[in-house]
């Protein structure tokens, strides 16, 4: 039927407009036709139309698929009676500026407002309703999104690639953020997640490159794969205390993240979970973690130390790879087989601190050392340990010597002589390293065991003073007690 340039269909509960022959820029949808209320704008009615403004009457309950897609509409009201906005209803309406949705909104379909590139402000009702997949994706001018208490989920990709959003506040009613919900919001600097949130799904905030801080409330029980992947300016993060797994790529490519605390209770760290976290220096993995996935700590350029807890069991292949400044790893002796591929292309890794029931054993990172670790399940055989000394490099030998001598575990005279000889012959280089680390205990040990030659002490005092090291005082005292007074110390050194 046709009336007032509208084609329509009659149903028991009202009228659906199915087409419009109007050529005007301003459209007023009648509240009634033939004595029945208009309840729906049908599919594609105004698709590609040159209309500028639309006035919808109270009584409209539904806007159909692609009803206004690709049109020139700039202004439209959403009456309180409106319940459903179907798929792509306003898709690619590049002139539409605002969308203030009514109190009875129940459903916003997939891509309903996708590519509305002029849309700058959206407001939602204070109730639970569904936001469909990519409903507001690619709305690059969208800056102000107001979520009110009541909404329980943010749909899949709902606000993906909305480059204008700078601040996001989610109310306590939100329980789940679905896959890719805010992916690619490159200017999203502030994210406030409220207590009550249960799940952050995969890729939810991927490549939100302006985000600097994120507090994941302790009500969150699951963080999906890649949730914060590529948040390259993220500096601080609090992870919920109630998660049991850090999934793959969750914090991958967070290159400004300097510190991260894995909560006690996490059992598994997934593939690439911390890959390319290039600013983190130390990873302390709690006792609850049992397994680490492939490349979980790959290309962590600043990482110098990774400590795994006493219940750790299993590494996937190349779990730690291409972390070129990694020097020390601590693992329990009960961990499953460790190979050179476990720590692939970590050129500065010289040893592994193996945690036993009673102590920590430094083991050189060599094929022989890895074989030795396997034998620790049967107890520590010191003769086998000492045999590793001859295939170790200089730094490994130093660490072995301190383990056996400083920890007072060496009872083999031949081995003890070899260890002391190494420390004495390389005392200058070793002492410089200890001074830079402020390791007074080991410096004092070298002094007490006469492993600091007289000819080096004056230089070491000067070196320590320049480094403003805590070792300076001991070295001055050591020289005074063993080799006479330190000449002109008051004038030469600032202590």
Contact 465, 456 (CB under 8 A): no
Is the pLDDT at 300 greater than 50? The verdict is: yes
What's the pLDDT tens digit per position in 235-293? 999 999 999 999 999 999 999 999 999 999 999 999 999 999 999 999 999 999 999 99
How many other C-beta atoms can be found within 10 angstroms of the C-beta atom of residue 244?
Answer: 13
* Residue 485: band (very low, low, confident or very high) from pLDDT cuts 50, 70, 90: low
Q: What is the mean pLDDT of residues 1-28?
A: 85
What residues form DSSP beta bridges with 177?
154, 200
Task: State residue 408's pLDDT score.
Answer: 74
Q: What is the C-alpha to C-alpha distance for residues 103 and 111, in angstroms, rounded to an integer?
A: 21
Q: Cα dihedral sign for 95, 98, 104, 108?
A: positive
What's the pLDDT tens digit per position in 163-188? 999 999 999 999 999 999 999 999 99
CB neighbour list of residue 350: distance below 8 Å, 6 or more residues apart: 327, 364, 365, 393, 395, 396, 399
Task: State residue 4's pLDDT score.
Answer: 58
Q: What is the C-alpha to C-alpha distance for residues 476 and 288, in angstroms, rounded to an integer?
A: 46
What's the pLDDT tens digit per position in 19-62? 998 778 999 999 999 999 999 999 999 999 999 999 999 999 99
Task: State residue 144's pLDDT score.
Answer: 82
The helix (run of H) or strand (run of E) holding residue 414 is helix 413-425
- Which of helix, strand or coil describes residue 44? coil
**Side-chain-facing half-sphere of 348: CA atoms under 13 Å:** 13
* Nearest CA among 43, 52, 121, 114 for reference residue 84: 43
Model pTM score? 0.89
CA angle 120, 124, 129 (to 5 degrees): 135
């Amino acid at each position: 039927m046709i009336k007032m340039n509208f084609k329509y269909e009659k149903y028991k509960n009202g009228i659906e407009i199915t087409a419009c022959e109007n050529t005007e820029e301003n459209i007023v949808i009648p509240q009634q036709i033939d004595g029945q209320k208009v309840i729906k704008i049908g599919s594609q009615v105004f698709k590609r139309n040159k209309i500028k403004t639309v006035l919808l009457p109270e009584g409209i309950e539904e806007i159909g698929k692609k009803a206004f897609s690709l049109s020139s509409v700039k202004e439209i009201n959403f009456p309180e009676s409106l319940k459903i906005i179907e798929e792509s209803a306003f898709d690619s309406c590049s002139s539409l500026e605002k969308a203030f949705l009514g109190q009875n909104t129940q459903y916003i379909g997939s891509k309903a407002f996708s590519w509305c590139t002029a849309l700058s402000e959206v407001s939602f009702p204070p109730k639970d309703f569904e936001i469909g997949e990519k409903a507001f994706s690619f709305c690059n001018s969208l800056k102000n999104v107001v979520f009110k208490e009541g909404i329980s989920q943010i749909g899949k990709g709902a606000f993906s690639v909305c480059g204008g959003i700078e601040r996001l506040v989610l109310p306590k009613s939100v329980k789940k953020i679905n896959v890719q919900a805010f992916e690619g919001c490159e200017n999203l600097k502030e994210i406030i997640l409220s207590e009550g949130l249960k799940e952050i799904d995969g890729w939810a905030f991927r490549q939100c490159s302006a985000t600097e801080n994120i507090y994941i409330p302790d009500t969150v029980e699951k963080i999906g794969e890649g949730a914060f992947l590529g948040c390259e300016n993220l500096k601080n993060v609090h992870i919920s205390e109630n998660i049991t797994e850090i999934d793959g790529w969750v914090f991958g490519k967070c290159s400004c993240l300097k510190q991260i605390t894995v909560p006690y209770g996490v059992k598994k760290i997934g593939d690439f979970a911390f890959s390319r976290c290039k600013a983190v220096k130390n990873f302390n993995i709690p006792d609850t973690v049992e397994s680490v996935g492939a490349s979980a700590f790959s290309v962590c350029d600043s990482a110098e130390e990774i400590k795994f807890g006493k219940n750790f069991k299993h590494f996937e292949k190349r779990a730690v790879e291409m972390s070129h400044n990694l020097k020390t790893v601590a693992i329990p002796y009960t961990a499953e087989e460790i190979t050179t591929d476990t720590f692939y292309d970590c050129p500065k890794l010289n040893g592994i601190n193996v945690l036993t029931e009673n102590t920590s054993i430094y083991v050189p990172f060599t094929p022989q050392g890895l074989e030795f670790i396997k034998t620790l399940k049967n107890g520590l055989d010191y003769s086998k340990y000492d045999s590793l000394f001859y295939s170790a490099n200089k730094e490994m030998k130093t660490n072995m010597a301190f383990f056996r001598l400083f920890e007072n575990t060496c009872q083999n005279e031949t081995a003890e002589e070899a260890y002391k000889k190494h420390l004495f012959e390389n005392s200058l280089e070793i002492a410089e390293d200890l001074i830079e680390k402020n390791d007074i205990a080991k410096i004092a040990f070298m002094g007490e065991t006469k492993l600091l030659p007289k000819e080096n002490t004056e230089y070491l005092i000067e070196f320590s003073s320049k480094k403003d090291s805590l070792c300076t005082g001991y070295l001055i005292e050591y020289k005074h007690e063993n080799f006479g007074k330190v000449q002109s110390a008051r004038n030469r050194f600032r202590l």
